[in-house]
Amino acid sequence: MLSLVFALIMSGSAPSIASLQDYDLNGIVKALDMVPLADEGGFFKEIYRSPVVIDNQHLDPGRYGEGKRNAGTIIYFLMSYPDGFSAMHLVKTDETFMWLAGDPFETLLLNPDGSVETFIMGPDVEAGHRPFVTIKKDVWQGSRVLPKEDGKGWALITATLSPGFDWADFELGEAAALIEKWPLAEPAILALVREEAPDGKR
């Protein structure tokens, strides 16, 4: 499915990766026809939803409940500094990020076993940036573009899920509950939660 992203880029359906660096935040939103992402924050554009539909009995009824899921989905996702961060949330499916353009960003992971991890995605692999990361299901996650001196910045990625995204599989994090289980991560958690969710739909 990730190959579809590159096919779109190469076919002219989206700006090339090289030209994306020349855009500002508003330019990226307009060029990719993105809209605000409810609850989580940032902007998104769904670019693929598999036409293959799977009954949940063939997946994991205990995890996904009743109903059906598309076999996979891919979105563009855009974060900005300082306010357009990805708030702490959890999904029931492994999620794969691929960094496309912009600035580095940091992701906080709160694992079910009580451990805490962070990683940075971006273009500088020699500095330890990762261009491609899979976040395991049932891991709380939140991301923010790293602080910049000019007070501006953005990061564009793709996010792939299989089975595909469904709002029934999404849970937004509450600061108090997360801090109770991961107390040592309190400052990082507080930086990645919102009192009010932005408008929009995923």
Q: pLDDT for 92-147, tens place per residue?
A: 999 999 999 999 999 999 999 999 999 999 999 999 999 999 999 999 999 999 97
End-to-end Cα, the chain, rounded Å: 19
CA distances from 25 to 32, 113, 121 (A): 11, 37, 18
Domain boundaries, the chain: 2-190
Segment 13-24 shows an average pLDDT of 62
Q: Residue 60 has what pLDDT?
A: 81
Distance between CA atoms of 74 and 68, rounded to whole angstroms?
17
Min mean pLDDT across 14-18, 125-129, 161-165 is at: 14-18
Under 8 Å between Cβ of 99 and 21: no
pTM: 0.84
Distance between CA atoms of 74 and 158, rounded to whole angstroms?
7
Q: Residue 199 has what pLDDT?
A: 47
Under 8 Å between Cβ of 173 and 193: yes
What is the number of residues in the chain?
202
pLDDT band at 16 (very low <50, low <70, confident <90, very high): low
- Which residues, listed in sequence order, are joined to residue 135 by a DSSP beta bridge? 95
With a cut of 90, say whether residue 5 has pLDDT above it: no
CA distances from 134 to 81, 109, 123, 130, 141 (A): 23, 11, 17, 11, 11
Under 8 Å between Cβ of 95 and 159: yes
Q: Quickly name the fold that domain 2-190 has.
A: Jelly Rolls (2.60.120)
SS (H, E, C) 75-123: EEEEEECCCCCEEEEEECCCEEEEEEEECCEEEEEECCCCCEEEEEECC
Segment 76-95 shows an average pLDDT of 95
DSSP one-letter code for 176: H
% of the chain at pLDDT higher than 90:
69
Give the DSSP per-residue string, 13-55. SS--HHHHTT--HHHHHHHTT-EEPTTT-SEEEEEEE-S-EEE
Q: pLDDT for 164-181, tens place per residue?
A: 999 999 999 999 999 999
Q: Residue 63 has what pLDDT?
A: 85
190 sits in the region (left: phi over 0; alpha: psi -120 to 50; else beta) called alpha
With a cut of 60, say whether residue 162 has pLDDT above it: yes
With a cut of 60, say whether residue 27 has pLDDT above it: yes
